[in-house]
Every structure is written in C-alpha cells, then in structure tokens.
Amino acid sequence: MTPKRILKYSYYPGCSLHASASEYDQSTRELFKVLNIGLTEVPDWICCGATPAHNVDELLSLSLCAKNLELAEKVDGDLAVACAACFSRLKFTQHTLEENDVKRKQVEKAINAPVKLDNRVKHLLEILARDLGLERLAAAVKKPLKGLKVACYYGCLLTRPPDVPNLDCVEAPTIMEDVLHAVGAETVAWSHRMECCGANFTLSRPGVVIQLSNAILESAKAAGADCFMVACPLCHGNLDIRQKEIEGVYNTSYGMPVFYITQLVGMACGLSSEKLGLGAMIVNPMPLLKEKHLI
Amino acid sequence: MPVKKKKMLLSAETMDIDFVRKVEALSGTSVRRCFQCGKCSAGCPMATFMEHPPNRVVRLLQLGQWQRILAGRSIWYCASCETCSTRCPNKVHLASIMDALRKLSWDAEGPSKESYVQLANKLFLQNIRTYGRQYEMRLAAVFNVKSGQFLKDLMLGPKLITKGKLKMFHKKNKNMTEIEQIFSRIEEMRRNGEAP
C-alpha cells in the first residue's frame, strides 16, 4: 500500500452548491470526511462570474476569479472546486494571469492586490483520481456499485478551454469512468458525453435546453445506461429538474436519475442516502437503487 | 430560420477592418487564420438556433461585415461551450471572438435581436455587485418579472422549494465593500483608458 499522505484543501463550493445543488455540497463534505481529506471552505468567497461575466466583460471575470484565488490563499492547500463552470473559470484565470503580463497588471489594479498563484486549482475528480489515487479510493470502498450502468456526462466545461492545462484529454476524457470503475460500477460508451446541455439558457431560453438535453437523455438511454453521473450543477439542473418537462415535450419516458460524482462514490464508501442528500433529487433514484440491491 | 438574401457589396466603404482589429486584439486570436473548414459549425450545439453559424461569423469578420453579426442573435445564442475553439485546426479561438463581439455589442448597447439572454446576463452581474453571490430564486424571479414572463417555470417552483433547492432568504457577503471596489475600479480604469 502507498504510504499515507495527509491531504487537505481549501474549498470553493460556488453559488449553486449553496442553493439548487446543496446535495452536491453535502455529499462532497461527507465523502471527504470518510476519505480523511481535509476541506476548509474559503472565507467570504464570491461568485466567479461564470458565463455571464466572461461573455460581456473579460476583465471583470478575471478579476472576480483572481479575488477568489487571493481569498483561497488564506487557507492551506490547493483549491478544490466542485462545480465544472467555476472550475473552468478559476483555472482559466490562473493560467491567463501566469501567461499574460498585461492582463495580470490590469487585474492586480482592479483587485488592488498582487496576484498569488501558488495553490493549484483542482477539480474534485482530480483529487479523487490523482491526489488520493484510484488504489486508495478502491481500498475505501465498502459496498461496490455492482451492476449499476452509468453514463458519465462530462458536459462542456470540465476539460476546457483547450489551451489551459487540463485535468484530462479534451476530446476523449476517461477520468470519470476511471473513478467509477474503481468503486465497482459499470460505465456505458455513448455519443453525447461531452455535448452541451444548454447550460445557463435554462433561465433565458429554456426551449434550447429542452432540445439539447433531450438529445443527451436519448443517447444515454439508447446506450443502455440506468443513470447519469455529472460534475456540474447546471448539467444536473437541466437533466434532472427539467427531465419531466422534456419527457412531456417529446412524449417519451426516460426516468433516469442524475447523480453527482460524490453521491455515487459516497454510496460505494458506505455513506447513507441521507448523508448523500439523495432525497433532494427530482428523479427519484430509490427504485433503481433497490433493484440493484444498493440500498 | 430563413435568412433574407441580401446582396453583399464589398468595397472600402463597407469593409470596416478597424472594428475587426479591435475584435482580434480583445480576443487575442486572428480571424485571418480561418480557412473555412466549417468544423466549428459542425460541432456547435447551438448552430441550429443561429442565423449566422460560427464559421460564417468568422467569414463575415474577415470581410469586415461586423454590423451583420451584431444585428443578429448569433452571438447571444452561443453557449460558450468552447467546442469550436477545441476543434479548430488553425487555433482560431472562436469562443474568445464571441466574447469580444458580445463585449463590443454590450458596451455600445448595440441593436441585437436577442434581449432575454442580455437581460439574464445583466441581472446575473447585478446580483454579484449587490450580494456577492448568486441567489437563483431571486435571479429567476426578477428575470420573469423584467421579461414579462410571469408564469415561466412556475410549475417547477413548489417542487424545488420542498426539495430544498431554492433558498427563500439570502444574506450579503461580508466583503461587499471589496467587491464594489472591484467593479468601480474597473469602471475607473475604463474611463482613464487603462483597460479595454
């Protein structure tokens, strides 16, 4: 066995994890506790600006993220990020400020502080698969997710932008599958694993989301998946919260629960459904989990 | 959506290359590298919603016809998924070009056909300035009121509240002064011409 290293991180949950994705936040904290990984929330973190900020104002987007990186320096350890969109923005900012002196100076002026970039921005997947390692993760499994066929949905932002050092291959990542195999689940090969779900059009143009998310649900169902695993609160909202609406529009039935990574891994590590916040999911996962004898 | 066929006249008068240079400077990418292979449009999840698909946006920029782009909805229907930038064989960072076009259109309060996406963006940024973080309930409620769609997604509301997914109350960040200063410093830098 590999010698035990003490892992600890500062934690940037992001706005959604304090509201519509509170089960992602809850299951992350519970899972990290079980795995003995330290997690300290960044004090007074602010919104990363997400898509709307960089859409119309790059300097604002970089400054908001840089401010968060500065706040994160107050806590020991690399910065663990749960939301794929926050992750993409924070990582992009870190990379841009390292490479581009002009932008760095502008940002330093805007936040009125020197930019510190020592702590790396890491997604939870990276922490589970690399820092902790698949072997140690597999060793922590108490109840392998045998027989569960999962469609790993990466969405668009987890491995992008392409020119920033990524957590995995930009076109054919396998990090989600690797993590799931380590905890005993099966994964399916399917076409729409990196297609966009419509993301924040859920507010302004829900029709777009219904069309794009339907294609994703259809593709996963056709590939024989029982459920989804996602790493992004927006993907989750579009596939889970809007699933019933999509079924109505296309006169079909999917009934596919959408889990966060930490919920599935947590389940394998023996955490109860209350601790994982399974009750907050709109598409009820209990019938599927009972059928597979996982609860 | 059928596009009205308009004759495109190319001349020194209709080709505004200064604007295109601005786009290139802001986005840090060159539109001249594009050879119109169309890979961006083939992979774009939103291309069906746009009157000018991504490769045509670049073509119009190459020809200095930026007014046609800003007058339409294409730039506001880009989801920023970055599939185009990822797959471009010539390293044209189209997602950044879209950002630059939106910024220029936003700053000029340009005549776009798409107002809902702009409204959503505006409310999102206002929320950061007022509260420091997003509060989805507030964002959705204010969006519905301001866009006049009072009943939009109303059926989702009760379910989300019982599942604890919408927080009825929220408080401001403790560091609101610092956040406000970021916004005002950026505005000041722009007034002084120190930032784009």
Question: Is it the case that residue B1 has pLDDT exceeding 50?
Answer: no
Contact B119 A204 (CB under 8 A): yes
Distance CA A219, CA A210 (A): 14
**Domain shared by B37 and B87, yes or no:** yes
In a domain, B170, yes or no: yes
Task: For residue A163, list chain B residues with Cβ-Cβ distance below 8 A.
Answer: 85, 93
pLDDT in tens, B33-48: 999 999 999 999 999 9
Tell which wins on pLDDT, B13 or A174: A174
Task: For residue B143, list chain A residues with Cβ-Cβ distance below 8 A.
Answer: 203-204
Q: pLDDT value at position A3?
A: 53
Contact B143, A24 (CB under 8 A): no
Q: Out of B75, B107, B139, pick the residue that ends a domain.
A: B107
Contact A18 B167 (CB under 8 A): yes
Q: pLDDT value at position B10?
A: 82
In a domain, B160, yes or no: yes
User: How far is CA A295 from each of CA A96, A145, A278, B34, rounded to the nearest angstrom?
Assistant: 46, 10, 11, 54
Q: Beta partners for A9?
A: A39, A78
In a domain, B139, yes or no: yes
**A286 in reach of chain B (CB within 8 A):** no
Instruction: State residue B108 phi and psi, 5-degree precision.
Output: -85, 0
pLDDT in tens, B164-192: 888 777 788 999 999 999 999 999 999 99
Q: How close, in Å, is residue A214 to chain B by CA atoms?
A: 12
**Domain shared by B87 and B25, yes or no:** yes
Q: pLDDT value at position A4?
A: 60
**A135 in reach of chain B (CB within 8 A):** no
Question: Is it the case that residue B2 has pLDDT exceeding 60?
Answer: no
Q: How close, in Å, is residue B121 to chain A by CA atoms?
A: 5
In a domain, B164, yes or no: yes
Q: pLDDT value at position B5?
A: 65
**ipTM associated with this complex:** 0.92
What is the CATH topology of the domain spanning A8-123? Glutathione S-transferase Yfyf (Class Pi); Chain A, domain 2 (1.20.1050)
Please tell me which residue of chain A has the smallest CA distance to B77: A201
In a domain, B5, yes or no: no
The CATH number of the structural domain formed by A134-291 is 3.40.50.11810
pLDDT in tens, B61-115: 999 999 999 999 999 999 999 999 999 999 999 999 999 999 999 888 777 778 8
Distance CA A166, CA A59 (A): 22
Domain range for B169: 116-191
Distance CA A254, CA A214 (A): 10
**Domain shared by B59 and B102, yes or no:** yes
CA dihedral A56, A58, A60, A63 (to 10 degrees): 160
In chain A, alpha helices (H) = 22-34, 50-56, 58-72, 84-99, 101-111, 124-126, 134-139, 175-182, 201-204, 206-222, 233-236, 243-249, 261-268, 286-291
Q: pLDDT value at position A255?
A: 96
Contact B79 A196 (CB under 8 A): yes
Contact A82, A28 (CB under 8 A): yes
What is the tally of structural domains in chain B? 2
Question: Is it the case that residue B118 has pLDDT exceeding 80?
Answer: yes
Beta-strand runs (E) in chain B? none
| Residues of chain A predicted below pLDDT 70 | 1-5
In a domain, B7, yes or no: no
Q: How many of the other CB atoms lie within 10 Å of CB of B113? A: 11
Which of B87, B117, B159 has its CB closest to that of A204? B117
Instruction: Tally C-beta pairs within 8 A across A and B.
Output: 172
Per cent of chain B over pLDDT 90 is: 68
Contact B102 A49 (CB under 8 A): no
User: How far is CA B185 from each of CA A98, A151, A238, B104, B142, rounded to the nearest angstrom?
Assistant: 22, 45, 36, 20, 27
What angle (nearest 5°) sits at the alpha carbon of residue B122, between those of residues B120 and B128? Answer: 105
- Give the mean pLDDT of B10-30: 91
Please tell me which residue of chain A has the smallest CA distance to B83: A156
In a domain, B9, yes or no: no
**Domain shared by B60 and B100, yes or no:** yes
Contact B128 A44 (CB under 8 A): no
Q: pLDDT value at position B3?
A: 54
**A275 in reach of chain B (CB within 8 A):** no
Instruction: State residue B173 phi and psi, 5-degree precision.
Output: -60, 155
Phi-psi region of A226 (alpha: psi -120 to 50; beta: other; left: phi over 0): alpha
DSSP B4: P
**Domain shared by B87 and B66, yes or no:** yes
**Domain shared by B62 and B102, yes or no:** yes
Q: Beta partners for A121?
A: A79
As a 3-state breakdown, chain A gives helix, strand, coil percent values, each rounded to 5, of: 50, 10, 40
Please tell me which residue of chain B has the smallest CA distance to A198: B79
Contact A200 B120 (CB under 8 A): yes
- A39: amino acid identity, one letter: L
Q: pLDDT value at position B90?
A: 96
Q: Copy the structure tokens of residue A79.
A: 């910065």
User: How far is CA A138 from each of CA A181, A269, A292, rounded to the nearest angstrom?
Assistant: 9, 9, 20
Q: Which residues of A243-267 are buried (b: 16+ CB within 10 A; e: fewer)?
A: bbbbbeeeeeebebbbbbbbbbbbb
Distance CA B196, CA B188 (A): 11
In a domain, B51, yes or no: yes
Task: For residue A67, list chain B residues with Cβ-Cβ distance below 8 A.
Answer: 178-179, 182
Contact B186 A170 (CB under 8 A): no
Q: How far is CA A173 from the centre of its chain?
A: 14
Which of B83, B117, B133 has its CB closest to that of A15? B133
Q: How many of the other CB atoms lie within 10 Å of CB of A53? A: 23
**Domain shared by B28 and B102, yes or no:** yes
**Domain shared by B167 and B102, yes or no:** no
**CATH 1.20.1050.140 residue spans of chain A:** 8-123
Q: How close, in Å, is residue B164 to chain A by CA atoms?
A: 7
Tell which wins on pLDDT, B160 or A253: A253
**A148 in reach of chain B (CB within 8 A):** no
In this structure, chain A runs to a length of 295
Q: Out of B82, B107, B132, pick the residue that ends a domain.
A: B107
Which has the closest alpha carbon to B124: A203, A100, A268, A133? A203
A 80-109 near B (Cβ less than 8 A): 106, 109
Element (H, E) at A41: strand A37-41
Instruction: State residue A51 phi and psi, 5-degree precision.
Output: -65, -45
**Domain shared by B95 and B176, yes or no:** no
Q: Copy the structure tokens of residue B72.
A: 């339409």
CATH of the domain at B70: 1.10.1060.10
Q: How close, in Å, is residue B42 to chain A by CA atoms?
A: 12
Task: For residue B50, list chain A residues with Cβ-Cβ distance below 8 A.
Answer: none
Task: For residue B79, list chain A residues with Cβ-Cβ distance below 8 A.
Answer: 51, 156, 196, 198-201, 208
- B151: amino acid identity, one letter: L
**Domain shared by B120 and B71, yes or no:** no
Which of B132, B163, B196 has its CB closest to that of A46? B132
Q: pLDDT value at position A279?
A: 95
Distance CA A93, CA A63 (A): 8
**Domain shared by B84 and B144, yes or no:** no
A 25-84 near B (Cβ less than 8 A): 44-47, 49-60, 63-64, 67
Contact B134 A16 (CB under 8 A): yes
Tell me if the bond preceding A161 is cis, omega within 30° of 0.
yes
CA dihedral B105, B87, A232, A150 (to 10 degrees): 150
Q: Out of B84, B107, B130, pick the residue that ends a domain.
A: B107
**CATH 3.40.50.11810 residue spans of chain A:** 134-291
**Domain shared by B22 and B97, yes or no:** yes
CA A267, A270, A273, A275 dihedral sign is negative
